Structure 1
């Protein structure tokens, strides 16, 4: 890949650059971002975080295929690390905003990626396609290998409407936007003092 990765005035990778050409997504692919010993490359980790943060700051929703790709990479990353980065929640949120029934499987996979993702991701995102009743109906009609596991879990969730999930997604987007804007407002620290 020879194209330069343009940054906006704040030094953040320009989200439009990534969505112009899906071949550029390979730069964010988890498998391509490790050295021979399997350690993550710092540049990949920084680019990944920068692009997700830039996307959550921009009005959504973003390109559906790109959102799904980003969540897949976050799932791969979180299967190989300890803890739960805010980046997987941002990726899940960006995909859930499309409110497509089939995305429930990607969101379920993200929740199941690790013990930590189970604990940190809002499980109500599973209901993004229209609330509890609509999601259960969709999953029931599916022949997906995880159907019975997901149905068992969905039946344990409190009944939630599509409006409830939309409100949750708006709150979570606002949460990340507020935090990122606050961080941008913090002056750089002078380590020479």
Structure 2
């Protein structure tokens, strides 16, 4: 299911708009919104452009409301899901961070946080388990909506548990306890999961009038 941007509270502090926001992010009534037409390469070639997608930029002097920010970010994530190949790793982490802030601020679950989690999990890096764990535990809705098997993206059950055991991370015990409760998966199982969820979202996005559903936990 897809969260309605109207559920968000307009209580964010206002801050000066980033110069790029003033230039391209103001809604244009004469055509499609810019974020929907810019390709993934435009966002990744200059990290300063990511300011446009920061949650804190949802209310700024350019008058960018939260629902407009939500649509911009959704358009970027949807475009990335439709683009073959992994996205820039730092950009994927940034997008998931913004999704976590949004979901902590709002009630409900949006497919966009799973899209961001998939883009990060596709890099298959063991240390990303902490960010994926933060995403899953961001709210009751993300706990219920996100596939918990994404936690094994960095090495399946065996590799992920070994990494967490040796990490010394402050969340080590909490995460380890949860990992041990999940059904065992292999690297191949994770590869299949990532491919299935990306293919599902891509198929839905190509069908007008359909809304993505969350994955199983």
TM-score by length of 2: 0.78
2:117 is the counterpart of 1:92:
yes
2:198 is the counterpart of 1:180:
no
Match of 2:173 in 1: 148
Q: Which has the higher contact order (CA 8 A, sep 6+)?
A: 2
Q: Secondary structure at the match of 1:165?
A: helix
Distance 2:135 2:84 in 1: 23
TM-score by length of 1: 0.88
Q: Deviation at 1:40? A: 5.3
92-101 or 24-33, which moves further after superposition?
24-33
Q: Deviation at 1:42? A: 2.3
Unaligned stretches of 5+ residues in structure 2: 1-18, 26-31, 211-217
Unaligned stretches of 5+ residues in structure 1: 186-193
Deviant stretches of 4+, over 3 Å: 2-5
Q: Deviation at 1:41? A: 2.1
2:38 is the counterpart of 1:13:
yes
Match of 1:191 in 2: none
How is 1:12-161 mapped onto 2 (pairs within 5 angstroms)? 12-34=37-59, 41-161=66-186
Q: Deviation at 1:43? A: 2.0
Distance 1:149 1:40 in 2: 37
Q: Secondary structure at the match of 2:197?
A: helix
Alignment RMSD (CA, Å): 2.4
Q: Secondary structure at the match of 2:86?
A: coil
2:171 is the counterpart of 1:171:
no
Distance 2:38 2:149 in 1: 30
Distance 2:85 2:143 in 1: 25
**Change in 2 beyond 3 A, CA 1:125/1:40:** farther
**Change in 2 beyond 3 A, CA 1:40/1:114:** farther
Distance 2:154 2:198 in 1: 17
